[in-house]
Amino acid sequence: TKRRPATIPSMRTTNLDVLIVGGGVIGLMCGWELAGRGASVLLLERNAEVGREASWAAAGFLRHRVTTDDAYGWLSRWSHERYPTLHAELLDATGIDSGYRQRGGFELAFEAETRATLRKFHSLHVRRNVPVEWVEPEEVVRREPNVSPNTLGGTFHSDDAQIRPPRYLRALASAFEKRGGRIVTNAEVASLRFDGDRCLGVESSVGSFSAGTILLTAGCWSGGLAERAGLYLPVRPVRGQVIRMDAPPEAFQHTISAEGIYLAQRDDGAFLVGATVEEVGYERGTTDEGIAELRDGAERVSPMLARYPVTQAWSGFRPAPAKRYPYIGEFRSGLWVATAHFRVGLMLAPATGKLVADGILTGQTPVPLDDVNPERDG
């Protein structure tokens, strides 16, 4: 979704409730939630289109496995329950099909150690009432004939789903604007502007802006903006490569995770394999080694894939925290952050949007934010 900088509002003539820095799935979801509650919201995106970094590059797996009662568990459960109605609301509002499909997914083992681990998680999930089924190799192959008979079995989660990130992002951006939100692209934020301990606005490549609350959702670039303001927010980029293969339509009916890779096939036959995990800083692009790793993993799951070429490859920078949980909450007076969702940004976006909107507009959140406090790793 491209935007013209010509419609940039002036800081002197615009009374903004919230200014969002970063237009990935987290920023767009927060903006959509805030605008839906009557807030005036402006989103600044550094690229020519929103959602072109980690959100766009993701393969779109939606899986709920978290059974804890902390903030992270709430984010996972609430998002998982919300997705079917969210998809319907976005489709109704924009006419854009986000590609949400709940068809179930396998987690498979090809090593004895992995099988033992999956067995333990199966028992845990059964005790915690997570919908899960143990499947032996023969049953896996019966349901997915193109999976290798060398599998040692695994788990099947009937409520696993997938979404098509580019379409989902277009739907979110359109729905946000229909609620009165504004998006300015090619607008790189250089710094946060403070008066004492209170954040008042930002300085960007397209001018200065002020707002009642600044919301930092700039993915792995959030840490640099915080650092330039003298704040510590340890978010780093972790590159992930994904490939598309020319597999036959309807080769697979479910999503599949196995030994560190995942496979998903779309309605139109597009077949995706992801994703590498690479600590290479901000080094963009794909590599022969990364593509080979994904292809080898896919062929181990399904030897028939050896007959089909890789037709496309891409990568993105996942925003990783210092430890497991993302950073969500009020960082300083007038400054909120929602970032470092690492590999689960798409999965946790709905609940993150609700939590942030509740916190900014009411001062209350559905769950305590201690575990996701932006200063917890300081």
pLDDT of residue 8: 54
- Confidence check: pLDDT of 320 > 90: yes
Query: pTM of the full predicted structure?
Result: 0.95
Percent of the chain with pLDDT over 70: 96
Percentages helix, strand, coil for the chain (3-state, rounded to 5) are 35, 25, 40
Mean residue pLDDT across the chain: 94
The mean pLDDT of 203-217, rounded to a whole number, is 98
Share of the chain above pLDDT 90, in %: 91
- pLDDT tens-digit profile of 69-117? 899 999 999 999 999 999 999 999 999 999 999 999 999 999 999 999 9
Q: Quote the CA–CA distance of 32 and 49 in Å, as a whole number.
A: 17
**Per-residue pLDDT, 14:** 56
pLDDT of residue 1: 47
Which pLDDT tens digit goes with each residue over 105-142?
A: 999 999 999 999 999 999 999 999 899 999 999 999 99
Q: What is the pLDDT of residue 377?
A: 86
Question: In this structure, how many other beta carbons lie within 10 angstroms of the beta carbon of residue 203?
Answer: 12
pLDDT band at 67 (very low <50, low <70, confident <90, very high): confident
Q: What is the pLDDT of residues 269-305, one digit of tens each?
A: 999 999 999 999 999 999 999 999 999 999 999 999 9
pLDDT score recorded for residue 15: 82
- Coil/strand/helix, residue 137: helix
With 60 as the cut, is the pLDDT of residue 244 above it?
Answer: yes
Q: Quick check: 4 pLDDT over 90?
A: no
Predicted confidence (pLDDT) per residue in 165-196, tens digit: 999 999 999 999 999 999 999 999 999 999 99
Helix/strand/coil (H/E/C) assignment for every residue in 147-213: CCCCCCCEEEECCCEECCHHHHHHHHHHHHHHCCCEEECCCCEEEEEEECCEEEEEEECCEEEECCE
